[in-house]
């Protein structure tokens, strides 16, 4: 934000030419911190799209409060990512001057919001995972990462309380709310597997105690999710597909459109300030 415009532009051009390639594990810490930051940035941007459109005022405020938390968390993780990379990119450069294929978020978070049920089922899947991941990261051997995770964990705990409450109410609610929530679940289930995928980045960092094994989060997540969905009278679809690729920069067609909207101001007016 404080950099001169020309520096940002040059860095951006450089990043495009020599940016991380698919599955690059040469700087696993940078890769991982981008995943953490990007999941939050993209989900935060999606949730902000509910501003002025939620079914009731209280939910409008709730979803935008969530958005604020996620964008704040993203700033902290991306700032640390920039430091890990050591190329002079700060959180703003990473958020606004990277192209779609440099984003490392899971595909789950970039999907369009759909209806309120779709947004809340997606949110619950994310939050139930986020609490487990952040709890493990709060014990990371990387002190700053552990500190940011401990801060974010407090927020994740009230996020999951809220999203779980809505999945329960919508699933076990009216015929219409049940139908829409079950449909959201059917559409979203195959996107959850990506959250637990292991790869070189995880193995390199887990060896030093920086991150937990991602796969180890699967069992406690499924236990919590299955229990809540059963209470909500919802049925997990018989769908073993795992839609993946986001962590390697291969995204759905939806991400580019969203980034265009999100990034246009800093890209059209580099270095602009209020």
Partner 1 sequence: MVATREQVLDWLHEVKDPEVPVVSVVELGVVRDVVVGPDSVRVDITPTYSGCPAMRVMEDEIVATLQQHGMTNVSVRTVFNEPWTTEWMTAAAREKLRAYGISPPLHLQDDHPTLVPLRRNVVIACPFCGSHTTTLRSEFGSTACKAIYTCNECRQPFDYFKAI
Residues forming contacts to partner 1 in the complex (CB under 8 A) are: 58, 61-62, 65, 67-73, 75-76, 131, 143-144, 147-148, 150-155, 157-158, 160-162, 164-165, 168
| Nearest residue (CB) to partner 1, 69 versus 202 | 69
CB of 173 to partner 1, least distance (A): 15
- Nearest residue to 36 (alpha-carbon basis) of 121, 118, 115, 142: 142
C-beta of residue 220 within 8 angstroms of C-beta of residue 271:
no
Nearer to partner 1, 161 or 241 (CB): 161
Q: How far is the CB of 95 from partner 1 (least distance, A)?
A: 13
Shortest separation between residue 112's beta carbon and partner 1, angstroms: 22
Coil vs helix vs strand at 221: helix
Question: Which tokens in the block code for residue 136?
Answer: 């493990």
CA dihedral 206, 210, 213, 217 (to 10 degrees): 180
**Cβ atoms of residues 108 and 188 within 8 Å:** yes
Alpha helix locations (H) across 196-243?
200-206, 218-231
Q: Which is nearer to partner 1, 15 or 74 (CB)?
A: 74
3-class secondary-structure state, position 241 = coil
Judged by DSSP in three states, 269 sits in coil
CB of 72 to partner 1, least distance (A): 3
DSSP 63-126: HHHHHHHHHHHHHHHHHHHHHHHTSS--HHHHHHS--GGG----HHHHS---SHHHHHHHHHHH
Considering beta carbons, is residue 44 or 249 the nearer one to partner 1?
A: 44
By beta-carbon proximity to partner 1, the closer residue of 87 and 144 is: 144
Torsion-angle region of residue 63: left (phi > 0), alpha (psi -120 to 50) or beta? Answer: alpha
Give whichever of 72 and 245 is closer to partner 1, judged by the CB atom: 72
Query: Which one, of 4, 5, 1, 3, lies nearest residue 268 by Cα?
Result: 5
266: three-class secondary structure by DSSP: helix
Q: How far is the CB of 8 from partner 1 (least distance, A)?
A: 20
Q: Between 68 and 243, whose beta carbon lies closer to partner 1? A: 68
Write a three-state SS string for 34-60: HHHHHHHHHHHHHHHCCCCCCCCHHHH
Q: How far is the CB of 151 from partner 1 (least distance, A)?
A: 4
Closest separation in Å from C-beta 155 to partner 1: 6
CB-nearer residue toward partner 1: 80 or 205: 80
SS3 18: helix
Question: From the CB of 45, what's the least distance to partner 1, in Å?
Answer: 13
């Amino acid at each position: 934000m404080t950099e001169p415009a020309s520096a940002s532009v040059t860095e951006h051009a450089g990043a495009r030419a020599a940016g991380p390639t698919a599955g690059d594990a040469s700087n696993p810490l940078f890769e991982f911190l981008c995943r953490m930051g990007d999941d939050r940035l993209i989900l935060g941007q999606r949730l902000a799209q509910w501003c002025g459109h939620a079914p009731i005022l209280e939910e409008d405020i709730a979803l935008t409060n969530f958005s604020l938390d996620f964008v704040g968390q993203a700033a902290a993780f991306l700032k640390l990512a920039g430091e890990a990379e050591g190329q002079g990119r700060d959180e703003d450069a990473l958020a606004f001057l990277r192209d779609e294929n440099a984003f490392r978020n899971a595909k789950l978070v970039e999907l369009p919001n759909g209806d309120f049920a779709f947004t809340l089922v997606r949110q619950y899947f994310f939050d139930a995972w986020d609490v487990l991941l952040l709890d493990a990261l709060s014990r990371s051997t990387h002190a700053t990462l552990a500190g940011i995770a401990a801060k974010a964990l407090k927020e994740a705990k009230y996020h999951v309380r809220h999203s779980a409450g809505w999945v329960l109410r919508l699933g076990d609610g009216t015929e219409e709310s049940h139908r829409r929530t079950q449909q959201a679940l059917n559409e979203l289930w195959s996107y959850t597997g990506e959250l637990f995928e292991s790869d070189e980045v995880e193995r390199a960092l887990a060896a030093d105690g920086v991150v937990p094994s991602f796969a180890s989060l699967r069992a406690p997540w499924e236990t919590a999710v299955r229990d809540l969905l059963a209470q909500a009278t919802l049925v997990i679809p018989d769908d073993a597909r795992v839609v993946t690729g986001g962590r390697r920069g291969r995204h759905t067609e939806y991400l580019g459109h969203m980034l265009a909207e999100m990034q246009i101001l800093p890209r059209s007016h580099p270095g602009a300030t209020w």
